[in-house]
């Protein structure tokens, strides 16, 4: 959510209100920071430390106390009108928060930066704050909000610091929006990819292997392969070529690319007998070296590399979630090396691949997707590679392309990659949540850092432009989104089992097996149910497993050399010949 908009300001104001209520009920608590976040707000508290940083034995709260705190918030809110700001000296600020070591640390930091120190007061509550609040407390009274849950959070996000108590709240512009969101959350619980993944036997996470390192069963692997094959089949006509790279590298590669500084503690380091290596967190630096392995001329460009390969990042355990946030990340990766005059055509090609792929999932529909032009935050330019001029040029190219391709776009300040701006494709799932999945990233910086070249028409040496692209992105995260979007009822091309063959009894096994073999020969992912269960139970199992089609084979079908085809989505299709059965299956 953009800082400073009306909803964000209201959520920030509610964080102040939460702090006021907590301190009223628990005067020994120390309030730290409380920002607006997506869907609401939070505030972090220390319920156990005194002004000297020592434990004083104060109680730790539980979620059972949230109703009491929320009630106190509503009582206090009746006494609030607006927020009044006031500048203060560092000395005044330290005096005001003398018993709060967290606020004192923030004051020291603000003073060192030479920034203004400001207090904001509403009612009897005053907090150290930069501003951006609701203009009128009535906005908070009319909004839809509630306290949601409690979690642990390290002070300043650093696990070396003290663990604080974070209280989360939900907040929306109206009570109706809050109700709609809560319904969405309940529906999301039913669709949770961890629950459905277990029910459909798609993946497993073992303590013996480690958190964030999922393993995929034959069914889950079939889905992963189907995704990669679908993307490869679409992009093949555009001249993409597959490459392969090792999973480790010397640290110097990532020091040149900038990933060493960017990923820092997220890098897995590998100690060899003579040298130190790192597990790759990204593939692009490796791909630059394949490009650089031979001399290139303008006639060779564009060069288009693609690879589905795993990268590794040492994510904190508390941030891991099923297969949506993992340590082993399989990227559907691609890199284009081209001349500047080829940029627009290459972006159009990638956008066309994205359109084709998401059309096959019925997700590329007007109103169900949008594009973010992810830009650099100029106020924090030290976070990015390259010059201001290069960034301005890159960002203008992407915006012009978004207009040319009639993409529904908005700008997102500060969301660029550290080496270049992006077109991030956002897709809406079945219950209305937005997910960033595909991306096109324009990079003038990395080719220059690696000294990449091509010989131009006039014989001069030029630096190519690099376009990073992902269609599905991380296969693990993509699958988590798709499992929840379809609630396990996948389209035919993606289903781990596409057809189940259900013989009524052992008498039909021979003919049913013949049909099954024909399905397998046609590369249909089929299963043969040779259990002793009744036909009714076999059908119920196929429905529970959300198989797109199942074939019933009884005495009549054996005599007629036919099958009875039933569909998950359309019910009974009818009695068909085997040839007619194949013609019934979706083609894409």
The answer to whether 83 and 121 have CB atoms below 8 angstroms apart is yes
Burial (Cβ within 10 Å: 0-12, 13-18, ≥19) of residue 585: middle
Q: What pLDDT sits at residue 407?
A: 96
Whether 182 has a pLDDT exceeding 90, the answer reads yes
Active-site entry in 48, 280, 335, 485: 335
* 286 included as an active-site residue: no
Instruction: Determine the Cα–Cα distance for residues 144 and 153; give it in Å rounded to an integer.
Output: 25
Instruction: Determine the Cα–Cα distance for residues 452 and 447; give it in Å rounded to an integer.
Output: 5
Q: What pLDDT sits at residue 263?
A: 78
- Sorting pLDDT into bands at 50, 70 and 90, what band is 139? confident
* 135 included as an active-site residue: no
Closest by CA to 337, choosing from 242, 257, 457, 452, is 452
* pLDDT tens-digit map of 82-121: 999 999 999 999 999 999 999 999 999 999 989 999 999 9
* 24 included as an active-site residue: no
CATH architecture of 199-244+298-486: 2-Layer Sandwich (3.30)
Q: Find how far residue 409's CA is from the centre of its chain.
A: 19
Q: Tell me what the mean pLDDT of segment 344-360 comes to.
A: 97
Report pTM: 0.85
Instruction: Determine the Cα–Cα distance for residues 69 and 23; give it in Å rounded to an integer.
Output: 10
Provide the token pair at 517: 């073999």
* 332 included as an active-site residue: no
Burial (Cβ within 10 Å: 0-12, 13-18, ≥19) of residue 60: exposed
Classify domain 6-189 by CATH number.
3.30.980.10
Instruction: Determine the Cα–Cα distance for residues 130 and 84; give it in Å rounded to an integer.
Output: 12
Whether 1 has a pLDDT exceeding 80, the answer reads no
Provide the token pair at 496: 């781990």
* 325 included as an active-site residue: no
Active-site entry in 12, 193, 280, 313: 313
Whether 497 has a pLDDT exceeding 60, the answer reads yes
The percent of residues above 70 in pLDDT, for the chain, comes to 97
Active-site entry in 284, 338, 429, 500: 284
* pLDDT tens-digit map of 274-308: 889 999 999 999 999 999 999 999 999 999 999 99
Domain boundaries, the chain: 6-189, 199-244+298-486, 499-584
* 304 included as an active-site residue: no
Instruction: Determine the Cα–Cα distance for residues 215 and 221; give it in Å rounded to an integer.
Output: 9
Instruction: Determine the Cα–Cα distance for residues 292 and 420; give it in Å rounded to an integer.
Output: 21
DSSP E strand boundaries for 301-362: 303-312, 328-338
Active-site entry in 422, 462, 469, 538: 422
Topology of 499-584 in CATH? Rossmann fold (3.40.50)
* pLDDT tens-digit map of 16-69: 999 999 999 999 899 999 999 989 999 999 987 544 545 555 567 889 999 999
* pLDDT tens-digit map of 364-396: 999 999 999 999 988 787 888 889 999 999 999
Q: What pLDDT sits at residue 58?
A: 53
């Amino acid at each position: 959510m953009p800082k400073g908009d009306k909803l964000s300001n209201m959520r920030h104001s509610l964080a102040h209100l939460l702090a006021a209520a907590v301190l009223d009920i628990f005067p020994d608590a120390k309030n730290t920071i409380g920002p607006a976040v997506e869907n609401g707000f939070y505030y972090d508290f220390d319920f156990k430390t005194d002004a000297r940083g020592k434990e004083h034995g104060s109680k730790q709260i539980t979620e059972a106390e949230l109703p009491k705190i929320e009630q106190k918030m509503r009582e206090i809110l009746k006494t609030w009108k607006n927020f009044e700001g006031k500048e203060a000296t560092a000395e005044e600020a330290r005096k005001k928060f003398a018993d709060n070591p967290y606020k004192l640390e923030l004051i020291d930091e603000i003073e060192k930066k030479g920034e203004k120190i400001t207090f904001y007061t509403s009612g009897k509550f005053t907090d150290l704050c930069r501003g951006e609040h609701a203009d009128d407390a009535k906005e908070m009274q009319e909004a839809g909000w509630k306290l949601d849950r409690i979690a642990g959070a390290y002070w300043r996000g650093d696990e070396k610091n003290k663990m604080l108590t974070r209280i989360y709240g939900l907040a929306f512009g109206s009570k109706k929006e809050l109700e709609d969101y809560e319904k969405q959350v309940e529906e999301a619980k039913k669709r949770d990819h961890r629950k459905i993944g277990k029910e459909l036997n798609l993946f497993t996470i073992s303590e013996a292997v480690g958190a964030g390192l999922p393993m995929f069963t034959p069914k889950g692997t079939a889905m992963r392969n189907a995704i990669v094959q679908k993307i490869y089949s679409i992009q093949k006509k555009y001249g993409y070529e597959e490459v392969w790279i090792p999973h480790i590298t010397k640290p110097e590669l990532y020091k040149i690319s900038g990933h060493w500084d960017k990923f820092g503690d997220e890098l897995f380091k590998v100690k060899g007998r003579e040298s130190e290596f790192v597990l790759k967190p990204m593939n692009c630096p490796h791909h630059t070296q394949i490009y650089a392995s031979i001399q290139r001329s303008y006639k060779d460009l564009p060069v288009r590399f693609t690879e589905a390969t795993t990268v590794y990042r040492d994510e904190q355990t508390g941030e891991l979630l099923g297969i949506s946030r993992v340590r082993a990340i399989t990227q559907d990766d691609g890199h284009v090396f081209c001349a500047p005059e080829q940029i627009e055509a290459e972006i159009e090609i990638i956008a066309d691949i994205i359109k084709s792929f998401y059309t096959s999932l019925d997700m590329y529909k007007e109103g169900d997707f949008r594009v973010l032009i992810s830009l650099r935050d100029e106020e924090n330019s030290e976070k990015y590679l390259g010059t201001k001029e290069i960034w301005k040029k890159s960002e203008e190219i992407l915006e012009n392309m978004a207009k040319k391709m009639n993409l529904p776009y908005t700008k997102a300040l500060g969301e660029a990659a550290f080496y270049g701006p992006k077109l991030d494709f956002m897709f809406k799932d079945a219950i209305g949540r937005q997910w960033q999945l595909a991306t096109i990233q324009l990079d003038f910086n990395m080719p220059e850092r690696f000294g990449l070249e091509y010989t131009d028409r006039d014989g001069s040496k030029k630096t190519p432009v690099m376009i990073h692209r992902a269609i599905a992105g991380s296969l693990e995260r993509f699958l988590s989104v798709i499992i929840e979007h379809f609630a396990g009822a996948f389209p035919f091309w993606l289903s781990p089992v596409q057809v189940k063959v259900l013989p009524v009894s052992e008498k039909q096994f021979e003919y049913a097996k013949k049909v099954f073999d024909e399905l397998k020969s046609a590369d249909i992912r089929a299963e043969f149910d040779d259990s002793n269960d009744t036909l009714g139970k076999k059908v119920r199992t196929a429905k529970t497993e959300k198989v797109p089609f199942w074939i019933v084979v009884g005495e009549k079908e054996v005599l007629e050399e036919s099958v009875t085809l039933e569909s998950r989505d359309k019910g009974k299709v009818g009695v068909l010949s085997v040839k007619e059965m194949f013609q019934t299956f979706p083609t894409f």
